[in-house]
Amino acid sequence: MGRPLRVLHVVVNMNRGGAETLLMNLYRNIDRTKVQFDFLTCKPGVFDSEIEDMGGIIHRIPYVTDIGHLGYKKALVKFFESQDYKIVHAHMDKMSGIVLQCAKRSEVPVRIAHSHNTRSEGGIVSKLYKSFAGSHIKKDATHRFACSQSAAEWLFGRQSNQTYVLKNGIDNRKFLYSSKDRRDVRAQLNIRDDTFVIGHVGRFNHQKNHEFLLEVFQQFSMVHGNTILLLAGDGVLKKRMEMKSRELGIHEYVNFLGVREDVDKLLQAFDMFLFPSYHEGLPVTLIEAQNAGLPCFITNTITEEVDMGLGLVQQYPLTHHHEWVEAIKALSIQRSSRLIDPDRLSQKGYDIQQTAMKTQNDYIQLGREVS
Residues 177 and 324 in one domain: yes
- Range 326-332 average pLDDT: 91
Task: Look at residue 12 in the predicted model and tell me its pLDDT.
Answer: 94
- Range 188-192 average pLDDT: 96
* Nearest of 2, 7, 8 to residue 35 by alpha carbon: 7
Residues 229 and 165 in one domain: no
Residues 161 and 17 in one domain: yes
Residue 222, SS3?
helix
Is residue 159 predicted with pLDDT exceeding 80? no
Residues 6 or more apart whose CB falls under 8 angstroms from that of 52 comprise: 58
Instruction: Report the phi/psi class of residue 290: left, alpha or beta, with left for phi > 0 and alpha for psi in -120 to 50.
Output: alpha
Helix axes 96-105, 64-82, angle to 10 degrees: 30
Residues 331 and 362 in one domain: no
Backbone angles phi, psi at 41, to 5 degrees: -125, 170
Is residue 141 predicted with pLDDT exceeding 70? yes
Residues 185 and 330 in one domain: yes
Task: List the CATH number of the domain containing 83.
Answer: 3.40.50.2000
- Range 233-259 average pLDDT: 96
Backbone angles phi, psi at 288, to 5 degrees: -60, -45
Domain count, the chain: 2
3-state helix, strand, coil in the chain (%, to 5): 50, 15, 35
Contact at 8 Å (CB) between 151 and 115?
A: yes
Give the whole-angstrom CA distance, residue 243 versus residue 249.
Answer: 10
Residues 155 and 191 in one domain: no
Residues 337 and 219 in one domain: yes
Is residue 1 predicted with pLDDT exceeding 70? no
Range of the domain at 235: 172-347
CA distances 323 to 220, 228, 318, 320, 329, Å, are 11, 19, 9, 6, 10
Residue 111, SS3?
strand
Residues 143 and 207 in one domain: no
Residues 177 and 68 in one domain: no
Q: Percentage of the chain with pLDDT > 70?
A: 98
Q: How confident is the model over 261-304, as pLDDT tens digits?
A: 899 999 999 999 999 999 998 999 999 999 999 999 999 999 99
Residues 133 and 252 in one domain: no
Residues 6 or more apart whose CB falls under 8 angstroms from that of 42 comprise: 12, 13, 60, 61, 62, 63, 66
Residues 361 and 323 in one domain: no
Residues 33 and 148 in one domain: yes
